[in-house]
């Protein structure tokens, strides 16, 4: 029997969108803060690399 809709084997049905909960905020902020600190550090280093 042929399925009316082709699906990939082992692929789950698409989930409905859920509102973002507060527990996801640290997971979004920690990498953003880390990347911002890395960029600031590289910029600071680049500006002060010839200071003697």
Locate the domains of the chain by residue range: 23-52
**18 pLDDT more than 90:** no
**10 pLDDT more than 70:** no
For the residues 6-17, what does the mean pLDDT come to? 70
For the residues 22-42, what does the mean pLDDT come to? 94
Residue bearing the bigger pLDDT, 52 or 37? 37
Taking all residues of the chain, what is their mean pLDDT, rounded to a whole number? 84
Tokens representing residue 17 in the block: 């969108």
Q: How far apart are CA 38 and CA 40, in angstroms?
A: 5
For the residues 14-33, what does the mean pLDDT come to? 88
């Amino acid at each position: 029997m042929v399925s009316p809709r082709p699906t990939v084997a082992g692929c789950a049905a698409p989930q409905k969108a859920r509102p973002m909960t507060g527990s996801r905020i640290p997971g979004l902020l920690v990498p953003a803060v880390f990347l911002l600190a890395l960029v600031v550090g590289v910029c600071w280093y680049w500006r002060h690399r010839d200071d003697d």
